[in-house]
Amino acid sequence: MFAKVIADRYVRAFLGSIDPSEVDNAENELETISAMLKGSDEIRAYLENPKVPPAIKKQVLERSLKDKFSRGVLNLLLLLIDKRRQDIIIDVADRFNETVDAERGIEHAIVISAVPLDENLQGTLTRTVQQFSEREVDVGFRTDPNLIGGVVIRLGDRVIDASLSKRFEDIRRAMLAVRLPRSS
């Protein structure tokens, strides 16, 4: 949570420093960097290694990314390294996407189910989730076998937990709360 708050500050400053016409390009570049870091433990470990001086990290990034990314995005990455905040690059990219989408009137939702849902059910759930928002909703789907059955829907700060694991937990708590009479 703390990383998201810090990431939000960098995103706000970065958005204020770039031309509005550069937002779409910056969004794509940050998504690319985020995907690269999520997909490579080695790159993430190198950037987060405290034994590698920031100046060396910056040189490596500058050489390898200067022809592939805009100056604004590259400067953001270099600033994060200068401030020893390279561990929040993914959070910055995610927060940038969320902030830009919010300005565009798009809200994100995630539907988590125990098993993959067919297209008809996904469509039905997408329409249902859309009814809970005044904005356009971008719905993503994910599976989590720990749910046993049912779904969990996250829309912004709201969570609707209609999973079997939640219901079982509610039953367990209710049973523990019941005081049984002592037998003599």
Task: Summarize pLDDT for 15-55 with one digit per residue, the tens.
Answer: 999 999 999 999 999 999 999 999 999 999 999 999 999 99
Evaluate whether residue 158 is within a structural domain: yes
Domain boundary among 58, 78, 102: 102
Q: Is the full-model pTM beyond 0.85?
A: no
Instruction: Pick the closest to residue 111 from 131, 74, 138 (CA basis).
Output: 138
The per-residue pLDDT for 177 is 84
Domain boundary among 51, 84, 102: 102
pLDDT at 14 over 80: yes
Evaluate whether residue 183 is within a structural domain: no
Average pLDDT, the chain: 90
| Whether residue 64 sits in one domain with residue 116 | no
| Whether residue 142 sits in one domain with residue 75 | no
Cα-based angle 13, 39, 26 (whole degrees, multiple of 5)? 30
Token pair recorded at residue 150: 């049912």
| Whether residue 142 sits in one domain with residue 81 | no
Amino acid sitting at position 107: E
| Whether residue 114 sits in one domain with residue 25 | no
| Whether residue 87 sits in one domain with residue 18 | yes
| Whether residue 49 sits in one domain with residue 128 | no
Backbone region of residue 17 per phi and psi (left: phi > 0; alpha: psi in -120 to 50; beta: other values)? alpha
Which uninterrupted H or E stretch holds 128?
A: helix 119-130
Evaluate whether residue 34 is within a structural domain: yes
Domain boundary among 102, 133, 160: 102
Which uninterrupted H or E stretch holds 151?
A: strand 150-155
| Whether residue 19 sits in one domain with residue 98 | yes
